[in-house]
Amino acid sequence: MTSALPPSLRLAWWGTAWLRGHVVTDLVVDAVLADDATHAVAGLPGTDRTETLVVALGRLRAAGVSGLGAAFPTEGDPVGLGGPAAFNADALEAGEAVVAAEAGLGLVPHRTGAAVTWTTYAASRRQLPDVGEADRQLRSALVESANSLARLDVARWRPDVADELLNLRHRAGILAPAGVPERCVDLAGRGLQAMGIVELALEDDGGAVSASEILAREAALRPLARAGRRALVAACSPEVWPPD
């Protein structure tokens, strides 16, 4: 499964695999594009052209890049970003980005229909959550959020959310390229699952009868959303991957 994955996850994982010689060019193109028509990269240093994905990856390899990491920031929690302001602002608006730390570059995806154009920025050094720490935080947040939502009678207002919380072990698998640690593949899947639960629970007011109920539900879900994003960043950032 790749089509439902965020573009930054696909580019980070499969771009890293290509840069490190684990996958051939056709495979990385198919995996990054998934159901999209095309991906292009604008603003790379040394050219005023918008490059194809393959040419852009070649330029990054020539610049000494051996890995791409993802960021999934939101207002108040710019996880995976290190600045500067222009890059952070665009990444926050998009909700995701890719960082080529060795070249000091950041890429932000912008979608137009079935086409994605990555805009290139200067990117500063970033601090990243440790894989083990992100794993522990996600497990803790799932328990705490499930307990909080149970107290708020989640089964009454969103039975589909309750079903998701009861079936955490049953989730769709993720197709990852060679070189991504199995622990990170699992962590990414659980991070996406957590973010999906939050998105599902916040789709509407779920029959809430007061503003206080809505605020209580948002408060119960906020730690889970934060833990899910941090898990995804750690799982998609080769800088912090555990050794093979």
Delimit the domains of the chain by residue range: 7-122, 131-240
Res 1: pLDDT: 45
Torsion of CA 220, 225, 227, 233, to 10 degrees: 180
> Is 80:233 a contact under the CB 8 Å cutoff?
yes
Along the 244 residues of the chain, how does pLDDT read in single tens digits? 454 799 999 999 999 999 999 999 999 999 999 999 999 999 999 999 999 999 999 999 999 999 999 999 999 999 999 999 999 999 999 999 999 999 999 999 999 999 999 999 999 999 999 999 999 999 999 888 777 777 766 655 556 655 655 555 555 678 999 999 999 999 999 999 888 888 777 665 545 556 777 777 778 788 999 999 999 999 999 999 998 6
Give the whole-angstrom CA distance, residue 10 versus residue 98: 10
